[in-house]
Amino acid sequence: MKIGMILDKEFPPDPRVENEAVTLVQEGHEVFLFCLTYNASEKREEVINGIRVKRYLSSKIEYKLSALAYTVPFYTFLIQKKITSFLNEVNVDAMHIHDIRVAEAAFKAAEKCKLPVVLDLHDNLPEIMKFYPHLQKFPGKYLIKPSKWKIKEEYFIKKAEKVITVSNEFMEEVLSRVPSAKKKISVVPNTIRRAFYNDYTIEQSIIEKYKNSFVILYLGDTGIRRGLLTTIEAMPTLAKTIKNCKLVIVGTNTSDTILKEKVKELNISNLVDFEGWKDMELFPSYIIASSICISPLYRNIQHDVAYPNKIFQYSSFEKPILVSDAKAQKSIVENKKIGLVHKEKDSDDFAEKVLLLHEDEQLRKELGSNGKKFIENEFCWEKTSRSLINLYREFSN
């Protein structure tokens, strides 16, 4: 089967898109990936791990218009022309749309070519949008309405032949709004490939840097909704008992100034390392250097239905994890006994759970061992991608 994937971002990197596309190629499908570039000198076509990548030149103005996709039709009009050109060139059998921002344009192009559509919902985007900084102030606050995006999302779910979500909780949330989607919805979680924890290189400088510290590690986007203020506020309490404790934050966000101001206010610069964004190849070294790993998400509709990929990265290296009580991650951590759970936004409860893990080395080992077994036996990409494979087998038939 020839599959046309639609991604209105640059590629690479996008681990989910790459994982799905590579898996389908390995299953014997041909995958053509439509994506964007903002660099006129970048290759317009290349093959990456068997994926036939085709890049279409975009601009910063077009990128900004994408935020207004369901306010004014300019972005949809511009991107639809590119997608139509892509479809005319590659002549695929089905279209696979990655998330809803580009969905209006992609569905219109698919209709002209009479193509069946798979809608892949990476996130509950209408809910995430509520926390975007540019939606908190003028003019975005008045121009961009998440409620309109939710209406569009439901429309696209009804329109698609197949729908993919990233967790059982997300699937249940979708079905609570669109019950008719029950027979066409599948779950394909954001899990990690075995290569992440089997084929890695250690950066010795990272190991040396933290060899004498009790490292509390956070990997990934550092936006305020990710909960790092809770962790930072717990550090003074933790330092009274754990003399060598260190919070290591690997990631960035435009709101990092707020986190750094809190660190300065609490006078704990010696306890917190802002490492900035690092290449994913360095993630294993940071995890190996850590004592416990965290995901202190604030609760909201999106976080309650999402599995943060970082918790699987942590567990794959046998590290105990500490997560907030956001529904999806709480469920998986408690059911699989791979870590502890703290109350969201509660720095005292966070500190209490860290101290429990610090004092009980055997508990840390037991939780870490459970996590490793869970990833190996149930929740690596090679296991969880079966639902994607089966979806396209049904589609092909």
Which pLDDT tens digit goes with each residue over 253-303? 988 999 999 999 999 999 999 999 999 999 999 999 999 999 999 998 889
Range of the domain at 16: 2-191+382-396
Same domain, 37 and 98: yes
- Can you tell me the mean pLDDT for 118-144? 82
Is the N-terminal amide bond of 12 cis, ω within 30° of 0?
yes
Separation of first and last alpha carbons in the chain: 10
* Predicted pLDDT at 249: 98
* Predicted pLDDT at 288: 98
Residue 350: count of CB within 10 angstroms of its CB: 27
* Predicted pLDDT at 320: 98
- C-alpha distance from residue 259 to each of 252, 269, 333, 352 (Å): 11, 11, 26, 21
Distance CA 384, CA 30 (A): 21
Same domain, 200 and 137: no
* Predicted pLDDT at 143: 78
Same domain, 221 and 111: no
Same domain, 332 and 210: yes
Distance CA 133, CA 147 (A): 17
Q: What is the pLDDT of residues 369-386, one digit of tens each?
A: 999 999 999 999 999 999
* Predicted pLDDT at 7: 97
Same domain, 108 and 151: yes
Same domain, 30 and 111: yes
Taking 90 as the threshold, does the pLDDT of residue 356 lie above it? yes
- Can you tell me the mean pLDDT for 184-198? 94
Per-residue pLDDT band for 134 (boundaries 50, 70, 90) equals confident
Taking 80 as the threshold, does the pLDDT of residue 175 lie above it? yes
Taking 90 as the threshold, does the pLDDT of residue 124 lie above it? no
Per-residue pLDDT band for 393 (boundaries 50, 70, 90) equals very high
Radius of gyration of the chain, Cα coordinates, nearest whole angstrom: 22
- Can you tell me the mean pLDDT for 247-256? 94
Per-residue pLDDT band for 73 (boundaries 50, 70, 90) equals confident
Task: Kindly report the pTM of this predicted structure.
Answer: 0.89
Same domain, 261 and 342: yes
Is the N-terminal amide bond of 139 cis, ω within 30° of 0?
yes
Same domain, 183 and 199: no
Distance CA 44, CA 21 (A): 18
Same domain, 211 and 184: no
Beta strands at 272-274 and 245-250: parallel, antiparallel or unpaired: parallel
Taking 70 as the threshold, does the pLDDT of residue 355 lie above it? yes
Percent pLDDT > 90 in the chain is 84
Phi/psi of residue 110, nearest 5 degrees: -65, -40
> Which of 14-23, 58-67, 266-275, 325-334 has the weakest average pLDDT?
58-67
The domain total for the chain is 2
Which segments of the chain are extended strands (E)? Answer: 2-6, 30-37, 45-48, 51-57, 94-98, 117-120, 162-165, 185-187, 214-219, 245-250, 272-274, 292-295, 321-324, 339-342
Q: pLDDT: is 67 or 153 the higher one?
A: 153
Same domain, 171 and 273: no
* Tokens encoding 140: 């975005």
- CATH number at 258 reads 3.40.50.2000
Same domain, 142 and 250: no
Per-residue pLDDT band for 138 (boundaries 50, 70, 90) equals confident
* Predicted pLDDT at 140: 72
- Can you tell me the mean pLDDT for 152-157? 96
* Predicted pLDDT at 142: 66
Average model confidence (pLDDT) across the chain: 94
- C-alpha distance from residue 394 to each of 1, 199, 242, 291, 327 (Å): 11, 33, 55, 44, 31
Same domain, 105 and 208: no
- Can you tell me the mean pLDDT for 310-330? 97
CA 55 to the chain's CA centroid: 23
